[in-house]
Structures are given as structure tokens and as C-alpha cells.
Amino acid sequence: MKTKVIVGMGSCGIAAGANKTYDVLEGLKTVDEQLDIELSKTSCVGMCYAEPLVEIIDETGYYLYGGIDEKKAKEILESHVKNNTPVKEYVVKSDKFETSEDSYVNGQEKIALRNCGYMDPESLEEAEERNAYKAIQKIGSEGKTDAGVIKDILDSGIRGRGGGGFPTGLKWKFANASVSDDKYIICNADEGDPGAFMDRSLLEGDPHAILEGMIIGAYAIGANQGVIYCRAEYPLAIKRLNIAIVQARERGYLGKNASGIKDFNFDIYVKEGAGAFVCGEETALIASVEGERGMPRKRPPFPAASGLWKKPTNINNVETLANIPYIILNGPESYNKYGTEKSKGTKVFALTGKIKKGGLVEVPMGMTLREIIFDLGGGIQDNGKFKAVQLGGPSGGCIPESLLDTPVDYDSVNSTGAIMGSGGMVVMDEATCMVDLAKFFLNFTQQESCGKCTFCRMGTKRMLEILTRITDGKGKEGDIELLEELSGQIKENSLCGLGQTAPNPVLTTLKYFRHEYEDHIFNKKCEAKVCKPLLTYTVVADACTGCTLCARKCPVDAISGGKKQVHFIDQDLCIQCGACDDACNFDSILVS
């Protein structure tokens, strides 16, 4: 067998330098006749923390190498390919021996991500080898009705992976019941939280799974047109989607009598969005597809009755659609055996923040936050202390250490004040100021507000002003209560999910970290030492060498003292910029 060498070329891999690694391998393959290898590309494997990744598959087994730059690539080819000696120190996963990353891989159950990193996403043949379009062919060969497909999806228990967690089968049932000659199915690939990284990786790594999920959904509801609404900032995803659509048309999976099913005519096109966060909401997305400004409208009517061009429309997100072919091909019981009573299947999370092993993980519903963060993610960077995890994207909530054993399912997560969202999981250590964090996320949602609802448009602005004042050391009594009052008004009176969930970061940090708000307001202190206007910089006399570097870097001449003399910071002049602390090489600046 010819040795296969595969380079991970998703956006994360390319950002880490995988294109350079690939070029080196390609160059060596060209000039070295002894290198009888089959070189190809794949997408994100999920181990984003170990990029660039190179897979080698030979007669002896499977080897996944991590952190492979141009120099290491040459070493691997020389040792492994030419001399049959794997370079074990670079191997992060193998079927021949244990590795340090086994816990990251073995703790997962991959359904949505089943093909990502295991094939060339631009090859229909490789996708077909991994069962692409087998599910829709099964529907055709068995003569399964639309009602039969919907029943399978209902029995699987899958809920929408885009945030709200509405039962997918029920959503399809409503759209199926609407009578119209024209119906649409839309894939929402424009979500803007950290979980969008997961959507992008699925689109880049397994575009045919998304297309097949849409084809099955179209058959179930009676749609004849599909739209993939994808943010323009994902050029690689859009490129691979368009390649997959052309391939699917040529092979007959799309078009007239799609997938060989008589009188089932269905096609798909990609609509590029501008990356507006509000377009994650169904009616705003529909408005954008129609060429209007992305703004939500009142419901009812719901899209299932009146959606795109006022025709019955079903909208699912990327991860939801990626699961559909697996469920149909393997049966609902293959999916609902995972998870909890009300949250079936698996969920993909984008682990990020102060975590050792950031990347994509897919786990059974019901796994605890502690297991995901510490067993899979490896714990906190630099062996720091865990403080909180923010779940659900910019409008999600912060969950403290005391709730680390919370099972990850819709009901349990919602009970904490957070939301599942589309899968963002941002881990924080003790160097994080929770007031500053709430301000960061609220600043995002405030900027992304479409402005249609007064409570969202003005309420989030007033909340942001209060949070800014608090982090600037100008907080006052009553600010906390005002934040709580505004949060309630915004949640109750906003039209769409953006406004209804925008206060979540503030409400959950107030619920679990209220003392930090009080410390900012009443003691003018930031325990995480993040909010600079609340910090005091003083010189530690015993450590100061009088090198004068801090004085030279101070922009306001607040530091006095001659060479080899202990320096002094005038607190009346100091503007808390931190330049002295950054400049000092002797840890003689005390920040308090």
C-alpha cells in the first residue's frame, strides 16, 4: 500500500501555517524519488491546539502528528516514511500506541463531526466512501414517505443545535403541514458566536453532509428550493460548499428527480451574508435573503407558515443538518441512545479561552462541564485556577466553579441562567474580571442590535454605559439594581432572541459574582487587576535597582528618582496606564 500523507487544511490549520507545511511536503515529494507517497488535504480534525496536523497512514497503522512545521515535516518524512520509524515525540494520536492526547479523543462520540478530518472535503468520491448520500438513497429505495422521515427524526429526539433547542422533527412536521406549491429549506450558517467556528469547520470539512441533510429535510417538508445562508467571512467554507453543490448536481443528487426520487425536484444555492449577529434569528435571516435589511418581525406567522417570499420555510442550523443523514441511515435509536431524557444525541462545542486544549469536541449530551473542561480540554492554561465558563455565545451566561458538575443538556444549562447556544464554551481563570467580561459581551450585542426594538437599542446602550462607568472606577450605589431592572425590561420587551438574551452575561455574573460588582463600586478595587482605573501602582523599594526604565516609559512623568536610587510614583499624577509595570525587569512594581 502506498503511504498516505494528509495535511489538515481547515481555516485553523492554515492560520497555524499548514499551507507552508503542505508546500514543503509537496516539494520533497517532487524532488525525492524515494518518497512514494500519496499527498492530500483534509479539514479540521478538532485538535486546533495542536495545529498544523499531519496524518500518516501506512501498512503499520495510523499516526497523527501535531505541531508540524516545515522542519518537522522533513524529519517525519525521513524517519517515518523512508526508514519506517515514527517520530513518537510528535505523535498526538495513533492506533499503535498510547499518546498524551488519548483522553481528548477517546472521551468523544463523533456524529456531526464523523467525517471532518478523515477525507478530502472537495472529493465527492471520498465523501461517498464515507456514506455520503446513502441516507437519501435509502429513503428512495425503501419508498419511505415524508411522514416516515419525520417520524424517524421525531423518534431520534434531536433538538435544534442553533440555540433554542426546539425539536427538529416537530419543526419539520409544521412545515410539512403547510400547503403550498413552493416551499423552502434554509441552512443557517451565519451564527456569530464562538460556536460559529464549529459551523465553519463542518462546512469546510463535510459539505456533502450539510447538503444531504437539506435534501432529506426538503423531501420531508416538500420543499423545492434550498438556501445556505453563510457569512462572507468564511471564504473557504463558501468555496467548498459551491464545489460540493456542483458535484451533487452532476451526480444527480440535486436537480430534477433529485437523488433518483421521482417527482422530487430540489436544488440549493449559497447566499452570502454580511455577518450580522441578528441574522441568526430566523425572520431577520429571511429578510436578508430577500435583499432587505436583516431585522426581525413579529411572530406569528411563523416561517413554517409564511417565511421566505411568504412561502412555508424551514430553517435549521449547520450542526442540526449534519446529524440528519446519520439518523436516517442508522436509525433513530443509533442517535437517541446518547444523551439524557430530554436532550438526546451529541453536541459539538468550540472550547476556547484559558484552556490547554482548545478546539472542537463532540460529546454525548449529559457529560458534565468538569469532564469536558478538565478531562477533554486538559484544564486551565499554565495550571491556573478555574473561575467560570461562559456558555452560549455573546448572549450566553457565566457558570461558576460551584456548578462545574452541571450536566450539559438543555434543561440543566438553562437552569443556571446560561444557554446552550450553538456551542461556544469560553473558559476563564482567576485573571478574568467578571464585570469587565460582562461589559465585553454586552458591547458586542449592543453593537449588533438592529435597532428595531427600543428596549434592545436603548436598554443595552444604557447598560453598557453603567458597566463602563463601574469599570472606570465611577460606579455608584444603585447601579447594580438599575442593571437588574434594565435587564428584565429588555428581556421581556425585545422582539427577537438577541435582545431577549443580551442581558444574560450581566445577570449571571451578578448572580454568581455579585461581590466583584460591589468591590468595583464601593471599594474601587478590581480583584482580577484588569480594570486599570481601579489599580494602584507603587514601587517596591527593596526590589528597585534605580535603572530609570520605568521613569522613561511613564507618559506623564509621574515617576521620580535618579539612577541607582529607589523610584517613587506620584499617585496624583499616575493615570494607571501600566507602562511602568510593563517596562520593569525586576518585578519592583506592585499592582494593587
Are the C-beta atoms of residues 417 and 504 closer than 8 Å to each other?
A: yes
- The partner residues of 591 in beta bridges, in order of sequence, read 537
List phi, psi (to 5°) of 208.
-70, -30
Are the C-beta atoms of residues 320 and 168 closer than 8 Å to each other?
A: yes
DSSP H helices in 222-271: 235-251
Would you state the pLDDT for residue 196?
Answer: 64
Task: Say if residue 137 is exposed, middle or buried (CB neighbours under 10 Å; 0-12, 13-18, 19+).
Answer: middle
CA–CA gap between residue 369 and residue 402 (Å, rounded): 11
Per-residue pLDDT of the chain (592 residues; tens, 9 = 90+): 789 999 999 988 999 999 999 999 999 888 877 788 899 999 988 999 999 999 999 999 999 999 999 999 999 999 998 899 999 999 999 988 988 888 888 889 999 999 998 899 999 999 999 999 999 999 999 999 999 999 999 999 999 987 778 999 999 999 999 999 999 999 998 765 545 677 889 999 999 999 999 999 999 999 999 999 998 888 999 999 999 999 999 999 999 999 999 999 999 999 998 878 888 889 999 999 999 999 999 889 999 999 999 999 999 999 999 999 999 999 999 999 999 999 999 999 999 999 999 999 999 999 999 999 999 999 999 999 999 999 988 888 999 999 999 999 999 999 999 988 878 899 999 999 999 999 999 999 999 888 899 999 999 999 999 999 999 999 999 999 999 999 999 999 998 888 899 999 999 999 999 999 999 999 999 999 999 899 999 999 989 998 999 999 999 999 998 898 999 999 999 998 889 999 999 989 888 8
List phi, psi (to 5°) of 239.
-60, -50
Are the C-beta atoms of residues 283 and 175 closer than 8 Å to each other?
A: no
Would you state the pLDDT for residue 194?
Answer: 47
Assigned C-alpha cell, 258: 433529485
Are the C-beta atoms of residues 33 and 64 closer than 8 Å to each other?
A: no
Name the amino acid, one letter, at 431: A
Domain 3-106, CATH 1.10.287.130 — does that match? no
Instruction: List the chain domain ranges.
Output: 3-106, 124-335, 346-429, 434-522, 536-591
- As assigned by CATH, the class of the 434-522 domain is mainly alpha
CA–CA gap between residue 441 and residue 448 (Å, rounded): 11
Are the C-beta atoms of residues 16 and 35 closer than 8 Å to each other?
A: no
Are the C-beta atoms of residues 119 and 129 closer than 8 Å to each other?
A: yes
- The partner residues of 400 in beta bridges, in order of sequence, read 388
Domain 536-591, CATH 3.30.70.20 — does that match? yes
Domain 346-429, what fold? Ubiquitin-like (UB roll) (3.10.20)
Phi-psi bin for 572: left (phi > 0), alpha (psi -120 to 50), beta? Answer: alpha
CA–CA gap between residue 202 and residue 210 (Å, rounded): 8
Pick the CATH number of 124-335 from 3.40.50.300, 3.90.1150.10, 3.90.440.10, 3.40.50.11540: 3.40.50.11540
Angle at 458 between CA 233 and CA 195, to 5 degrees: 30
Q: Where do we find the cell 459539538?
A: 348
Q: Where do we find the cell 441578528?
A: 278
- What is Dmax (Cα atoms) for the chain? 90
Name the amino acid, one letter, at 220: A
Assigned C-alpha cell, 254: 440535486
Would you state the pLDDT for residue 162?
Answer: 76
Q: How far is CA 217 from CA 171, 245, 493, 577, in A?
A: 10, 16, 33, 56
